[in-house]
Amino acid sequence: MVKVGILGVGTVGASVAHILESNADILTARAGKEIVVKSGVVKNLAKDRRVNIPLTDNPLDVVDDPEIDIVVELMGGVEEPYALVKKALENGKAVVTANKALLAYHRYELEEIAGNIPLLYEASTAGGIPIIRALRNGLAANHIQSIQGIMNGTTNYMLTKMIQEGAQYDVILKEAQDLGYAEADPTFDVGGFDASHKLLILASIAYGIDAKPEDILIEGIQNITQTDVNFAKEFGYEIKLLGIAKKVDKGVELRVHPTMIPAHSMIAKVDGVMNAVSVVGDCVGETMYYGPGAGGHATASAVIADIVDIVRGNQGPMMGYKRGLESGLTLLPQEEIITHYYLRMEVDDRSGVLAAITRELEKFDISIESMLQQPHNKDSRVKLLFTTHACQEVRIREAIKALKELRCVYGDIVMMRIEK
């Protein structure tokens, strides 16, 4: 018999306990041993958890219990779970975690501490989709050329409603929160941080890149308006918050931002709270993984897959590469990213304005691909919407700064990246 202790019996923890009990028949058959939860840790013992397992409010009752073989960490946060996971590993216990923030910051230290003790984390990225297994095992033969993923259900739900129903940002955020998908602090979702944690985990497995959220380009969906949505529709794009990892000559681009993508692409059709990840490998070509990125049972499904793997004795380097044998690829500086751009700005509606703007873009060698001028409003100003041919991030950033200095341009210039 294998005994499990759960740190954090919230929605996911309770689902783990329920499924281990209700699906015990197949789990014993698949793992080869019976798996039982010995105890779970909660902050508030007075709250009814609707679970059939002994509860304690002291995490050391789990991490120091010599009878517990596997510690499942579902607490959230970074430093407290780090200390507890470290202690559990030092006590020789295998660990399963769903904690993407913990891994975004400490995955390589934890790999070092774990040594040969299994530390698995399937549920940390895209919830119930077995994307970690796909990358670590199923695609092990491939040099990974790119990963593009919708890795945050809250923002995908919001964007879908904004695009399909013209919904207001605040109303739709509240709806996503009520559905239980949003993080405790919704800035984590709408600001792209949640997705960045997941992208960093995937980028480690794919490329061996050791980067932190602060090192990469992260932009959220806060500035998207119906003007952008309508432009995207007119020009055949969908808008998605994508996590992108792309191998280019000199290194690997890692970025999270709202992205205009062709409406006919597979990932553009992923709506609502669903997640999807497209991975291109040099042998296999494009593969695509789709499913629920959050929710108690879906996330618990991934947690339990890890428990089963540990009981079966399946192992391999935690982050996918044997230490010291990583790909040697490095993170490409943000300024060197090359892509297409969309720009939105408000300008005076008079002769010479367009010429002034295109002159400015010419200085930075930026070529316009398409353009839309929206009709007059009462201030004699118009909205100008452009897309550009591919250019380097540094040039578009400098061009935006210069354009903002022009007297004919008002307020902020909104930029969105386009992936063809």
User: Residue for token digits 């040697």?
Assistant: 328
Of 53-61, 175-183, 209-217, 240-248, the segment contacting ligand HSE by CB under 6 A is 175-183
| Unique residue bearing structure tokens 């480690």 | 204
Nearest to 92 by CA among 60, 69, 61: 69
Which of 189, 219, 393, 419 forms a contact with ligand HSE (CB under 6 A)?
189
Selected from 31, 217, 294, 311, the binder of ligand HSE by CB under 6 A is 294
- What is the longest distance spanned by two Cα atoms in the chain? 80
Instruction: Kindly tell me the sign of the dihedral angle through the C-alpha atoms of 41, 43, 45, 47.
Output: negative
Count residues contacting ligand HSE (CB under 6 A)? Answer: 11
Question: Of 195 and 311, which CB lies nearer to ligand HSE in the complex structure?
Answer: 195
x/- track of binding to ligand HSE for residues 193-212 (CB under 6 A): -x------------------
Considering the rule CB under 6 A, would residue 99 count as an interface residue with ligand HSE? Answer: no
The one-letter amino acid at 172? I
Phi/psi-derived region of residue 50, left when phi > 0, alpha when psi is between -120 and 50, beta in every other case: left
Question: Contact at 8 Å (CB) between 179 and 295?
Answer: no
Which of 2, 182, 201, 343 touches ligand HSE (CB under 6 A)?
182
Q: Is residue 127 near ligand HSE by the rule CB under 6 A?
A: yes
| Amino acid, res. 359 | R
Helix 153-165 to helix 169-178 angle (10° resolution) is 140
Residue closer to ligand HSE by CB (options 243, 281) is: 243
Short-list 95, 100, 48, CA closest to 72: 95
Q: Is the CB of 201 or the CB of 357 nearer to ligand HSE?
A: 201
Annotation says 198 is catalytic: yes
Which segments within 89-236 are labelled E, that is strand? 94-97, 119-120, 144-150, 217-218
Question: Does 278 engage in binding with ligand HSE (CB under 6 A)?
Answer: no
Cβ of residue 154: shortest distance to ligand HSE, in angstroms? 3
Residue 349 and residue 377: Cα distance in Å, rounded? 9
Per CB under 6 A, 73 contacts ligand HSE: no
Binding map of ligand HSE across residues 226-265, x = CB under 6 A, - = no contact: ----------------------------------------
Give the dihedral of Cα atoms 252, 254, 132, 9; nearest 10 deg: 150
Rank residues 198 and 417 by Cβ distance to ligand HSE and give the closer one. Answer: 198
Q: Choose the catalytic residue: 198, 240, 246, 247.
A: 198
In the region spanning residues 136 to 165, those forming contacts with ligand HSE, defined by CB under 6 A, are 152-154
Pairing label, strands 2-7, 35-41: parallel
Q: Choose one: 71-79, 182-190, 324-332, 341-349; the region binding ligand HSE (CB under 6 A).
A: 182-190
Q: Is 181 in the site for ligand HSE (CB under 6 A)?
A: yes
Q: Catalytic residues, which ones?
A: 198
The footprint of ligand HSE (CB under 6 A) covers 127, 152-154, 181-183, 189, 194, 293-294
